[in-house]
């Protein structure tokens, strides 16, 4: 299993600093945050990030964009975000599935999101990219059924799910969810809280859910993505926190 770190995990630091920490700790890749860490996404900025990562022996499996399908800004943002991902040399571009929860969505929004994701996947392929759709609250992927139906509706091997455990779901249901959604996923985010329903991050080893069981379905030949640490324990020095999480991930996976 391949482990990376989201540069968002240290959003106040310069991206170069996060890259250096990731490499020194032993992560294999970085998911580059699509806001402050890429600035305006200029060719010069992206080239500097790409070259520094390469010098450190890091891959850039994902560009973490905020491109949101099914919204008014989508058409204006699409090509710019694809160009940034391309300039970084990323394999995947992370995108978002609208702005309605699956349980409360309307059909027009569903159709708009699926049309935009289909276009994104086709256009991404022209840049040599694939698409990973964020599983997140207040989007069409916020629950198992919506996430599965959306990825199946796109029905393209170059569009998968960016799976992550949410903090409001009981641990047992998360285990079921990971089994169902792992075959549809091409990227994973991990972070943890010690008690369901809270938002204060803790070390992965102290999660209220069984992360070993959640990741087991991803330990197959069909999953070739990265497991990326997105947020870490804020009460521990950053270098130590990311090292602890990587050590734990290695201890629970094959």
Mean pLDDT of 84-113: 98
Has residue 221 got a pLDDT over 90? no
- Whole-number Å distance between alpha carbons of 29 and 23: 8
Confidence of residue 38 (pLDDT cuts 50, 70, 90): very high
Separation of alpha carbons 236 and 65, rounded Å: 27
User: Do the Cβ atoms of 186 and 177 come closer than 8 Å?
Assistant: no
Average pLDDT, integer, range 117-136: 98
Could you state, in order of their start, the residue ranges of all structural domains in the chain?
Answer: 2-252
- Strand segments (E) across the chain: 2-6, 29-33, 59-69, 92-97, 130-134, 159-163, 185-190, 226-229
pLDDT bin (cut points 50, 70, 90) of residue 87 is: very high
So what's the pLDDT on residue 40? 93
- The two beta strands, 185-190 and 159-163, are parallel
Length of the chain: 254
Query: What's the mean pLDDT in 16-41?
Result: 97
pLDDT-derived band at 73 (thresholds 50, 70, 90) equals: very high
Q: Which whole number is the average pLDDT over 44-53? A: 98
Is the pLDDT score of 207 beyond 90? Answer: yes
Q: What is 2-252's CATH topology?
A: TIM Barrel (3.20.20)
Residue pLDDT, tens place only, 132-188: 999 999 999 999 999 999 999 999 999 999 999 999 999 999 999 999 999 999 999
When pLDDT is averaged across residues 39-61 and rounded to a whole number, the result is 97
At 182 the pLDDT is 98
Identify which of 81, 64, 59 has the alpha carbon closest to the alpha carbon of residue 6.
64
Confidence of residue 29 (pLDDT cuts 50, 70, 90): very high
3-state secondary structure of 31: strand
Rounded CA separation 181/134 (Å): 12
Q: What 3-state DSSP class applies to 236? A: coil
Q: What is the pLDDT of residue 135?
A: 98
- Judge whether residue 231 has pLDDT over 90: yes
The pLDDT assigned to 254 comes to 79
**Mean pLDDT computed over every residue of the chain:** 97
The answer to whether 211 and 246 are in contact (CB under 8 A) is no
What's the CA gap between 80 and 78, in Å, rounded?
Answer: 6
Which of 249, 224, 231 lies closest to 91 in space, CA to CA?
224
Residues 6+ away with beta carbon under 8 Å from 69: 95, 96, 97, 98, 112, 113, 116, 117, 120
Look at residue 103 and tell me whether its pLDDT is greater than 90: yes
């Amino acid at each position: 299993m391949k482990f990376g770190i989201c540069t968002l995990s240290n959003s106040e630091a310069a991206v170069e600093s996060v890259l250096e920490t990731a490499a020194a700790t032993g992560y294999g890749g970085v998911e580059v945050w699509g806001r402050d860490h890429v600035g305006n996404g200029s060719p010069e900025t992206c080239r500097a990030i790409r070259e520094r990562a390469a010098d450190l022996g890091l891959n850039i499996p994902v560009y973490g964009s905020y491109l949101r399908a099914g919204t008014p800004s989508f058409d204006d943002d699409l090509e710019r975000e694809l160009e940034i991902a391309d300039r970084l040399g990323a394999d995947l571009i992370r995108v978002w599935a609208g702005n309605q929860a699956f349980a409360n969505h309307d059909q027009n929004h569903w159709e708009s999101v699926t049309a935009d994701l289909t276009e994104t996947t086709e256009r991404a392929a022209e840049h040599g990219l694939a698409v990973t759709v964020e599983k997140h609250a207040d989007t069409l992927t916020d629950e198992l059924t919506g996430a599965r139906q959306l990825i199946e509706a796109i029905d393209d091997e170059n569009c998968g799910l960016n799976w992550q455990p949410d903090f409001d779901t009981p641990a047992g249901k998360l285990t079921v969810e990971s089994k169902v959604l792992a075959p549809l996923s091409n990227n994973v985010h991990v972070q943890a809280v010690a008690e369901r329903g809270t938002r204060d991050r803790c070390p992965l080893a102290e999660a209220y859910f069984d992360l070993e069981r959640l990741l087991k379905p991803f330990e197959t030949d069909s999953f070739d993505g990265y497991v990326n640490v997105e947020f870490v324990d804020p009460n521990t020095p950053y270098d130590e926190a990311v090292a602890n999480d990587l050590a734990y991930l290695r201890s629970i996976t094959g």
